Chains A and B, each alone.
Chain A
């Protein structure tokens, strides 16, 4: 099988899996992130060569729900990445230069790191109201659907 056919087959399988699991319409980046998260379940211990643990089921499930929730508000994720302790990182980038890193821990807790250009990052437990104001200030100030 050549590379193009393989690519089309993988895309077809991926979209079928995602549609089946997540019936809501998601952005392309949202679907990609969910596909990647699902593949994190295949990781074996020491996947990073520095003895990392496999991503925890609780962290993966929390990250999936979070991605869907924000994607449906029009905020797709930038990237997802596994951490070394069973934790999962979901990263967001905005047009206004703001960035956000949400960490889902293996015990089900979550932390947010809000990055604003020219300012030190702000780290705290996940707070949706605060997060939305950071990711989408216009919507938060206008009292839109964010929350």
Chain B
């Protein structure tokens, strides 16, 4: 049976998005201390946003896929918005908790917001800011 989620979900500032980072030796995106590295928050070429799962529509166990390969980190939607990023619900047939976050000018028109704080860039500084905002989630 295919699990069907709500057709549209409004993301609140206090929502959290869960993102997997690879930690399996030796190609890990978490350092010796278990902290994420900026490399885990890079935008792929041709992509408009980073993928994550909405915490309230999934469980850490489901989101992490494989605890031997991945660790789970949470990013608060309010924090992402303060970085001038837009978050939107983007369910997949296999994952009804799927969301994305990215730059406003790159995302689908219906998700765009007025840019009040100057033009943000998805550069290395943005990746670093995401790394610092990420909080480890116990699975």
Chain A residues in the interface with B (C-beta under 8 A): 35-36, 39-40, 42-43, 47-53, 78-79, 81-85, 87, 89, 91, 101, 103, 111, 113, 115, 120-121, 123
Contacts and interface: CB of A to CB of B under 8 A. Distances in A.
13 contacts: A36-B26, A39-B27, A47-B22, A48-B29, A50-B20, A50-B51, A81-B27, A81-B37, A82-B39, A85-B42, A87-B39, A101-B128, A123-B123
B135 interface: no
B44 A36 contact: no
B71 to A, nearest CB: 12
A78 B31 contact: yes
B125 interface: yes
A87 B42 contact: yes
B28 interface: yes
B interface bracket (residues with beta carbon within 8 Å of A): 20 to 34
B137 interface: no
A113 to B, nearest CB: 5
B12 interface: no
A121 B125 contact: yes
B39 A121 contact: no
B128 A83 contact: no
Contact of B124 (A36, A49, A82, A111): A111
Contact of A36 (B21, B27, B128): B27
Contact of B125 (A47, A87, A123): A123
Interface of B: 20-22, 26-29, 31-32, 37-40, 42-45, 50-51, 65, 69-70, 123-125, 128
A85 B31 CA distance: 20
A82 B128 contact: no
Most buried by A among B28, B38, B39, B44: B39
Given A35-B26, A50-B51, A89-B38, 7 more contacts: A47-B22, A49-B22, A49-B69, A82-B27, A84-B43, A113-B128, A115-B128
B124 A84 contact: no
B31 A84 contact: no
A43 B29 CA distance: 13
Contacts of B51: 50
A42 to B, nearest CB: 8
Contacts of B31: 78-79, 81, 91
Contacts of A49: 20, 22, 65, 69-70
